[in-house]
Chains A and B, each alone.
Chain A
Amino acid sequence: MTGTRAAFRLSLSALRAHKRRFAGTFLAVLLGVSFLAGTMVMGDTLRANFDTLFVDANTGTDAVVRSADVIDAGQGGGVREPVRASLAGRLGKVPGVAAAVPSVQGAGQLIGSDGKPVGGQGPPTLAGNWITDARLNPYHLVEGSAPTSEHEAVINRGAAKKGGLKVGDTAVVRTPDPLRVRIVGIATFGGADGMGQVTFTALTLPTAQKYLTTGPDRASAIQVRAASGVSQREVADRIAPLLPKGSEVLTGQRATQENQDEVSGRFLGVFTTLLLVFAGIALLVATFSIHNTFAIVVAQRTRENALLRALGASRRQVVGSTLAEAVAVGLVSSLAGLLGGVGVALGLKALFPALGFGMPTGGMVITTAAMAVPLAVGVTVSVGSALVPAVRAGRTAPLAALRETAVDRSGASWKRAAAGAVLGAAGIALAVVGASGSPQVPVTATGAVLVVIAFVVLGPVASTAAVRVLGAPLPRLRGVTGALAGRNALRGPKRTAATATALMVGVAVVTLFTVFGASLKATMDRTVDRSFAGDVAITTPAFGAGGSGLSPRLAPAVGELPQVRESVGLGKGVAKVDGGGRELTVTDPRRLANVIDLGSVRGSLDGLGTGGVAVSRGEAGKHGWHLGSTARLVFADGQRQPFTVRAVYERGDLSGDYLITRRAWAPHRVQDRDTLVAVAFKDGVSLGAGRAAVEKTAAGYGHPDVQDRAEYAKSAARGVDLMLSTVYALLALAVLIALLGIANTATLAVHERTRELGLLRAVGQTRSQLRAMVRWESVLVAAFGTVGGLGLGAFLGWALVRAADSAGTSAFAIPVPRLGVVLLVGVVAGALAGLRPAGRAAKLDVLKAIGVE
């Protein structure tokens, strides 16, 4: 027991004596834990705030009646068949029901005062009816009045702010048919500016039905308020027997729960998972840095540990004292990290509204898990990283006390080289096999993990060669100072590799995403290039669940223009095929081939009628369909209808996998809208002239974008840049931690080379030469890490693109300029990391440095 205490006392005094050496470790853990804790706290807070918001907004609704069937084709939530609005009248007479009102909701995008669409970059842009029963309406007027005529609307405060709209302004709502309205009121949702970022335009019930549904008696749902003293359960039970087949009733609580789950699952879930993944990467990078620090410190302390062993300390006591140091560092920095995490969450919460991301307000929610998990992770990372160095410290022979200061200069063993080579070869083979032929993501992923491990294992083997190559120009550039920097980087191959590995991991992830993004863009370019046979495309650029699409009347109107040879609109429908939701393309299949190249077509696109469908070759293969086969489609209204496969076409990348006629879709439609109008000009019509004419016509339909082929390809890939910017921002922390690691190693190296630095100064090295020497060494290490990361990331990117490409249509692209920037950033950052250690080295007093034992 006393032995343990002695070991602990030793480690504490060691920590006190070498605070500076652990500064880097401390910061690495602190940053990683802050990121992790911040993410968890923010996720919990947002979730709780959204939950409160929905409870507040829906508090007056006791029951909701809607169609039971839902089809989810992957994007923007499920699609339900409307119910009869007249049902509300009947339900209103049920005893115990105080009010029952129809609720209509559809896509409707506002155009702001600047003429640009409001929102649409992710969250839904909705329009619906203004529910006149104030307690049933989740929105509450804070200004103006409710709409009373077809050309009046209430909008939520968030949309008003974003679009620069106020009461009395005139605006256009794309429903998608443009509807010109006067803003008569501004409303809040459960006390907030809106339901998160969702925009909402409220019209009168008849207007909403006219523009957002396909008939006058339709509603998305019926909202019911119970009389006082009647519970939600009771009112739901009383309504249930009166409902037509295919409808369901759920309590207000259940409906609120669904709203909450939807936001948590669809938005917050993705958001927090993404952040957690990057917090994990940051902590992984931190692990490398911390391990390296402990390895160096233990090596530097060999004499001290040997003396302890000679004086009678047991192996366990030496190991224990090193581990106790790790625990202390981990604990202190993790606790500081928790504080930092709460700070990060607070900062982000304040930052989001400033960036235009209105989030529901409310207090911070700090759960036990959000504190305990990051703390545990932080301590585990510290102790785990110190484990191997601690065991090595325990193995110190007492005799080592008598030797010269031992520094770990051990190079790479042949065992390491062999193991790394085998791992690497196996990994590359698996990745390549999984990526070629019929792609298999799990095989490639396994290979990718092996390759990463091989890179880490091979680091020390590769570092010597890599530093020699990278450092080759240094002597010519910087003379003997450069040569010394290069030699110094070669001194401890293990150390150089471990330092560089942290950066390598960060850079590899950056590169992976960069390559993946560029390949996505290249794929879009190629798709448009190959499959888009028209001259211009009319779209309403939107992202995720946003946007309202195009009026179905636009395509025929454009078709009337004298410059236009062909104008075809493509709408979206959904149906279940073999139990899974599928998107259908609703269009005129016969004319579609004039503007979109479907590749070779077997069968005929003519006369699909109401019972025929054209299917892409890939999809037909999956279901085993041939010409004449029967495809059973189930629509949102519950109708199942057999379709005959009348044509099978080669390429569905632009047109979608199922083509049906508008007449076939008409009975099942919910809100008429096209997502794309493809236009081809007549021979001899210039792009400029044709485009101007199309733009003029389109202006009358809510100003959608008219794009030439290049612009269309670019806008289709716009989400990629957004994704990349987010990823870069999230990876910045991991890269920062890696650079701290480089700085830390440089500081430790300066410490152990004190006498040598003193000698150099004595025989005539100037301070600036000394600084340059230290800086160049860290530049070399950073360059090694960056180049390794670029190579690793590019390979993993290639494997990922190929493995994820089951249709064989993806392009692979290496964005050289962008990766050049990554390289430059890595090297410059290396110089920055060396700045402080270089400054400290230059401040050394020559005489003291030479005299140091």
Chain B
Amino acid sequence: MTAAARVVDAAKVYGSGETEVRALDGVSVDFPAAGFTAIMGPSGSGKSTLMHCAAGLDTLTSGSARIGDVELSGLTDKQLTVLRRERIGFVFQSFNLVPTLTVRENITLPRDLSGRPADPEWIDALVDVVGLRDRLHHRPSELSGGQQQRVAVARALAGRPDVVFADEPTGNLDSRSGAEVLGLLGRAVHEMGRTAVMVTHDPVAAAHADEVLFLADGRLVDRMPEPTAERVLDRMKAFDGRAPGARRTPQEVGP
């Protein structure tokens, strides 16, 4: 299996001397094409930093990050921007949509920014997948939180990106809306052949992925193929012994 994105010996250091913090400390990982990878770990484990660096939103202190065969270090801001626009899709925890644009305009935004119009059939198909056909001309403020995240997923897929990076996409949603969004990401990977990388601290969310990576203290400490919520929760509890990890209690997480 080829990698849609990969980091090799990735290190990210903030500050220096006494106050030095190693957010990433020699992480090497491949995100396989047409795979759905979840990244988990306690707060401060470096999972968000890993995703930001892999996605070209942040730069590594040392090591290498690639999207496909493009090495990210050494790219100018403009080249990174274009790369994000052309080859990456993003879903953030909240504030994913531009309030002045309609649902449809938000979905096609990256395409419109590139100046090359989106493929209308593909957009049409996406709209049906996320089930927002009757909301196309609404503004984000007229949608529920779950609907907004579904629009964000559609936007992330609109340009047929190499990888979709999702940063806590369900963090602000109730469990039903969250399940819908995760279902969409799963379909994108398994039915449309996209690649997805998701940072989460919700074991239920992580269970939607093909594989879960566990980070602690800036290092890759474990991998779990074909995860289930229970196994992920158990693995996370091991971290809780050392440091306060996931914010949610098991009761909240349960199915």
Question: 30 A-B contacts, Cβ less than 8 Å apart?
Answer: A479-B112, A479-B115, A480-B105, A481-B113, A483-B101, A483-B112, A490-B100, A491-B100, A755-B95, A759-B92, A759-B96, A759-B97, A759-B98, A761-B81, A763-B84, A763-B85, A763-B109, A763-B113, A764-B81, A764-B82, A764-B84, A764-B85, A764-B86, A764-B109, A764-B114, A766-B82, A766-B113, A767-B78, A846-B57, A850-B95
Distance of A759 Cα from B57 Cα, bound (Å): 11
Q: Known: A759-B92, A764-B114, A847-B52. Is A487-B81 also a contact (CB below 8 A)?
A: no
Answer yes or no: B208 CB below 8 A from chain A CBs: no
Task: For A850, give the chain B residue with the smallest CB separation.
Answer: B92
Which residues of B, 62-77, contact A by the 8 Å Cβ criterion? Answer: 77
B contact face: mostly helix, strand, loop, or mixed? helix
Contact assessment for A762 and B109 in the assembled complex, using a CB-CB cutoff below 8 Å = no
Task: For A768, give the chain B residue with the smallest CB separation.
Answer: B78
Contact assessment for B113 and A762 in the assembled complex, using a CB-CB cutoff below 8 Å = no
Task: Determine how close the nearest CB of chain A comes to the CB of B160; give it in whole angstroms.
Answer: 14
Answer yes or no: B31 CB below 8 A from chain A CBs: no
Distance of A759 Cα from B112 Cα, bound (Å): 15
Which residues of A, 823-853, contact B by the 8 Å Cβ criterion? Answer: 846-847, 850
Task: Determine how close the nearest CB of chain B comes to the CB of A466; give it in whole angstroms.
Answer: 17
Distance of A431 Cα from B96 Cα, bound (Å): 52
Task: Determine how close the nearest CB of chain A comes to the CB of B214; give it in whole angstroms.
Answer: 23
Answer yes or no: B180 CB below 8 A from chain A CBs: no
B→A interface (CB under 8 Å): 52, 57-58, 77-78, 81-82, 84-86, 90, 92, 95-101, 105, 109-110, 112-115, 155
Distance of A768 Cα from B97 Cα, bound (Å): 21
Contact assessment for B98 and A760 in the assembled complex, using a CB-CB cutoff below 8 Å = yes
User: Which residue of the partner chain, among A479, A491, A759, A766, contacts B81 with CB atoms under 8 Å?
Assistant: A766
Answer yes or no: A258 CB below 8 A from chain B CBs: no
Q: Known: A480-B109, A488-B100, A767-B81. Is A762-B57 also a contact (CB below 8 A)?
A: yes
Most chain B beta carbons < 10 A, residue from A490, A755, A759: A759
Which residues of A, 487-507, contact B by the 8 Å Cβ criterion? Answer: 487-488, 490-491
Task: For B48, give the chain A residue with the smallest CB separation.
Answer: A847
Considering the complex of A and B, which 9 residue pairs feature the smallest CB-CB distances, nearest first?
A: A764-B85, A487-B100, A480-B112, A764-B110, A766-B81, A763-B110, A755-B95, A764-B113, A764-B84
Contact assessment for B81 and A484 in the assembled complex, using a CB-CB cutoff below 8 Å = no
Distance of A344 Cα from B114 Cα, bound (Å): 50
Answer yes or no: A578 CB below 8 A from chain B CBs: no
User: Which residue of the partner chain, among A756, A765, A767, contacts B113 with CB atoms under 8 Å?
Assistant: A765
Contact assessment for A765 and B100 in the assembled complex, using a CB-CB cutoff below 8 Å = no
Answer yes or no: A769 CB below 8 A from chain B CBs: yes
Which residues of chain B have C-beta atoms less than 8 A from A491's C-beta? 100
Which residues of chain A have C-beta atoms less than 8 A from B99's C-beta? 756
Given contacts A764-B85, A766-B81, 14 further A-B contacts (CB under 8 A): A479-B112, A483-B112, A487-B100, A491-B100, A756-B95, A756-B99, A759-B92, A762-B57, A763-B84, A764-B82, A764-B113, A767-B77, A767-B78, A850-B92
Distance of A765 Cα from B115 Cα, bound (Å): 11
Contact assessment for A756 and B98 in the assembled complex, using a CB-CB cutoff below 8 Å = yes
Distance of A767 Cα from B113 Cα, bound (Å): 12
Interface string of A753-781 (1 = CB under 8 A from B): 00110011111111111000000000000
Task: Determine how close the nearest CB of chain A comes to the CB of B229; give it in whole angstroms.
Answer: 28
Which residues of chain A have C-beta atoms less than 8 A from B115's C-beta? 479
Task: For A769, give the chain B residue with the smallest CB separation.
Answer: B113
Distance of A760 Cα from B114 Cα, bound (Å): 12
Task: For B77, give the chain A residue with the smallest CB separation.
Answer: A767
Distance of A483 Cα from B100 Cα, bound (Å): 10
Which residues of chain B have C-beta atoms less than 8 A from A756's C-beta? 95, 98-99
Task: Determine how close the nearest CB of chain A comes to the CB of B74; give it in whole angstroms.
Answer: 18
* Residues of A within 8 A of B (CB-CB), count: 25
Which residues of chain B have C-beta atoms less than 8 A from A763's C-beta? 84-85, 90, 109-110, 113, 155
Distance of A479 Cα from B81 Cα, bound (Å): 17
Which residues of chain B have C-beta atoms less than 8 A from A755's C-beta? 95
Task: Determine how close the nearest CB of chain A comes to the CB of B89; give it in whole angstroms.
Answer: 8
Task: Determine how close the nearest CB of chain A comes to the CB of B75; give it in whole angstroms.
Answer: 13
Task: Determine how close the nearest CB of chain A comes to the CB of B185; give it in whole angstroms.
Answer: 17
Task: For A759, give the chain B residue with the smallest CB separation.
Answer: B95
Q: Known: A487-B101, A756-B98, A766-B78. Is A480-B113 also a contact (CB below 8 A)?
A: yes
Task: Determine how close the nearest CB of chain A comes to the CB of B126; give it in whole angstroms.
Answer: 15
Task: For A491, give the chain B residue with the smallest CB separation.
Answer: B100
Task: Determine how close the nearest CB of chain A comes to the CB of B67; give it in whole angstroms.
Answer: 13
Task: Determine how close the nearest CB of chain A comes to the CB of B198; give it in whole angstroms.
Answer: 16
Which residues of chain B have C-beta atoms less than 8 A from A483's C-beta? 101, 105, 112
Distance of A688 Cα from B58 Cα, bound (Å): 79
Task: Determine how close the nearest CB of chain B comes to the CB of A840; give it in whole angstroms.
Answer: 16
Which residues of chain B have C-beta atoms less than 8 A from A481's C-beta? 113
Distance of A292 Cα from B88 Cα, bound (Å): 40
Distance of A846 Cα from B92 Cα, bound (Å): 13
Distance of A764 Cα from B110 Cα, bound (Å): 6
Task: Determine how close the nearest CB of chain B comes to the CB of A758; give it in whole angstroms.
Answer: 8
Distance of A761 Cα from B56 Cα, bound (Å): 12
Q: Known: A755-B95, A846-B57. Is A762-B100 also a contact (CB below 8 A)?
A: no
Task: Determine how close the nearest CB of chain A comes to the CB of B156; give it in whole angstroms.
Answer: 8
Distance of A299 Cα from B78 Cα, bound (Å): 35
Which residues of chain A have C-beta atoms less than 8 A from B112's C-beta? 479-480, 483
Which residues of chain B have C-beta atoms less than 8 A from A768's C-beta? 78
Task: Determine how close the nearest CB of chain B comes to the CB of A639; give it in whole angstroms.
Answer: 81
Task: For A478, give the chain B residue with the smallest CB separation.
Answer: B115
Distance of A186 Cα from B113 Cα, bound (Å): 74
Distance of A846 Cα from B78 Cα, bound (Å): 13
Which residues of A, 536-551, contact B by the 8 Å Cβ criterion? Answer: none
Which residues of chain B have C-beta atoms less than 8 A from A764's C-beta? 81-82, 84-86, 109-110, 113-114
Which residues of chain A have C-beta atoms less than 8 A from B81's C-beta? 761, 764-767
Contact assessment for B90 and A762 in the assembled complex, using a CB-CB cutoff below 8 Å = yes
Distance of A828 Cα from B156 Cα, bound (Å): 37
Which residues of chain A have C-beta atoms less than 8 A from B57's C-beta? 762, 846-847
Most chain A beta carbons < 10 A, residue from B90, B95, B98, B101: B98
Distance of A759 Cα from B58 Cα, bound (Å): 14
Task: Determine how close the nearest CB of chain B comes to the CB of A111; give it in whole angstroms.
Answer: 67
Q: Known: A484-B101, A759-B95, A762-B90. Is A847-B113 also a contact (CB below 8 A)?
A: no
Distance of A847 Cα from B81 Cα, bound (Å): 13
Task: For B87, give the chain A residue with the smallest CB separation.
Answer: A764
Which residues of chain B have C-beta atoms less than 8 A from A484's C-beta? 98, 100-101
Task: For A764, give the chain B residue with the smallest CB separation.
Answer: B85
Task: Determine how close the nearest CB of chain B comes to the CB of A481; give it in whole angstroms.
Answer: 7
Most chain A beta carbons < 10 A, residue from B81, B84, B95: B81
Task: For B115, give the chain A residue with the smallest CB separation.
Answer: A479
Which residues of chain B have C-beta atoms less than 8 A from A479's C-beta? 112-113, 115
Task: Determine how close the nearest CB of chain B comes to the CB of A264; give it in whole angstroms.
Answer: 58
Task: Determine how close the nearest CB of chain A comes to the CB of B224; give it in whole angstroms.
Answer: 28
Task: Determine how close the nearest CB of chain A comes to the CB of B183; give it in whole angstroms.
Answer: 22
Which residues of chain B have C-beta atoms less than 8 A from A846's C-beta? 57
Which residues of chain B have C-beta atoms less than 8 A from A490's C-beta? 100
Which residues of chain B have C-beta atoms less than 8 A from A850's C-beta? 92, 95
Task: Determine how close the nearest CB of chain A comes to the CB of B237; give it in whole angstroms.
Answer: 28
Distance of A479 Cα from B105 Cα, bound (Å): 12
Task: For A763, give the chain B residue with the smallest CB separation.
Answer: B110
Distance of A845 Cα from B21 Cα, bound (Å): 20
Interface string of A72-92 (1 = CB under 8 A from B): 000000000000000000000
Task: Determine how close the nearest CB of chain A comes to the CB of B249; give it in whole angstroms.
Answer: 24
Task: For A760, give the chain B residue with the smallest CB separation.
Answer: B98
Distance of A826 Cα from B33 Cα, bound (Å): 53
Task: Determine how close the nearest CB of chain B comes to the CB of A850; give it in whole angstroms.
Answer: 6
Which residues of chain A have C-beta atoms less than 8 A from B78's C-beta? 766-768
Task: Determine how close the nearest CB of chain B comes to the CB of A672; give it in whole angstroms.
Answer: 77
Task: For A488, give the chain B residue with the smallest CB separation.
Answer: B100
Which residues of chain A have C-beta atoms less than 8 A from B58's C-beta? 847
Contact assessment for A762 and B84 in the assembled complex, using a CB-CB cutoff below 8 Å = yes
Which residues of chain A have C-beta atoms less than 8 A from B82's C-beta? 764, 766
Distance of A487 Cα from B52 Cα, bound (Å): 30
Task: For A487, give the chain B residue with the smallest CB separation.
Answer: B100
